[in-house]
Structure 1
Amino acid sequence: MSNLIETFAGVPPGSKLGEAMKMRAEILRLSEAAHDAVLLPRDPGGLSHALRAALAARMCRHVGNADLAGHYDAYLAHSGDLDVAPLAHPDGRSGEPRLDAVARHADVLTTAPREATRQDIERLKTAGVSEPDIVRLAELAAFVNYQLRVIAGLKILKGVQ
């Protein structure tokens, strides 16, 4: 049974890479659990499930993974809260300062994480983002960017088989 990372990396079941990944099943299981924890936590705080899905899709589009962006778009559509849908695209804005600040910070964490500074955190706070939500945003960005990199790496390995 394939998991999300294997599916989007296009790892064929029974291939050498697929067999190697079976040996790493615990890592993949934990990756799936992390996906659910950051996308659909019981207590989303000030980052609704819909906003998390929109931001995840946005991060995927920044990196050029349309398939994974579509996965997160489906979560967004299922949420029924399409007010944040413009944020699923790199240039999208909601018009609400707090949400737009969150999206800008997700952009920085995805496209130039080494350039993130304490000033970026202060801008989030000034826009009304709480400290717990800043941590939630960092967790979401860390996971989605991890997922994107693992998928990209597996696609490269798949070509080497």
Structure 2
Amino acid sequence: MTLIETLASVRPGSALAEAIQKRAEILRLSEAAHNAVLLPRDPGGLSHGLRAALAARMARHNRNQALATHYDGLVAHAGEAATAALAQTGTSADDERTAEIVRHADRLTVAPREATRDHIARLRSAGVTDADIVRLSELAAFVNYQARVIAGLALIGGRQ
């Protein structure tokens, strides 16, 4: 069973489980995307701990505590005390680079339509490379996708 199925409480043998089985490739690719954006071999300037903390924070913004708890586990495993606190909404970093990354992650989660070129310029001014801006965008896109798929499947599953 994939992470998405587990967190959406998909019951084995249910009509929803059978429907998902017909689209198993999508969930397999979602698992691969999870590992690619959270635990890449080369994390660039976004450490595994920072990625996990941002993912937990995004899950909390999406009001998905089960997903946040999953990412909290990755935060703990990374052992990066300096970034662990960022998993909680309402917290910020002391250094400007990380603080700008957190602001942008929040923006992409809470109000993505408000993201502008000026926000990208702020990231660059804070020392975030273009490659890390792409990495951050990939992380935000994936975690927000994941939260929405889980919510949708849980809603469908609850109707059965």
- Specify the TM-score bucket, using the shorter chain as the normaliser: over 0.9
Amino acid at match of 1:93: S
1:1-161 residue pairs with structure 2 within 5 A?
Answer: 2-161=1-160
Structure 2 gaps of 5+ residues are: none
Q: What is the RMSD of the two structures over their aligned residues, measured on CA atoms? A: 0.6
SS at structure 1 position matched to 2:90: coil
Q: What's the CA shift string for 1:99-120, capped at 9, x where partnerless?
A: 1100100000000001110011
Cα deviation for residue 87 of structure 1 reads 0.9
Amino acid at match of 2:45: G
SS at structure 1 position matched to 2:108: helix
Amino acid at match of 1:107: D
Query: 1 CA distance for matches of 2:89 and 2:128?
Result: 20
Number of residue pairs the alignment of both structures matches? 160
Cα deviation for residue 94 of structure 1 reads 1.9
TM-score for the superposition, normalised by structure 2: 0.98
Structure 1 gaps of 5+ residues are: none
Query: 2 CA distance for matches of 1:94 and 1:30?
Result: 33
Amino acid at match of 1:19: E
SS at structure 2 position matched to 1:146: helix
Amino acid at match of 2:61: H
Name segments (4+ residues, structure 1) moved above 2 Å: none
TM-score for the superposition, normalised by structure 1: 0.98
Question: What fraction of aligned residue pairs are identical, expressed as a percent?
Answer: 64
Cα deviation for residue 132 of structure 1 reads 0.4
Query: 1 CA distance for matches of 2:107 and 2:93?
Result: 17
Query: 1 CA distance for matches of 2:81 and 2:144?
Result: 23
Amino acid at match of 1:138: S
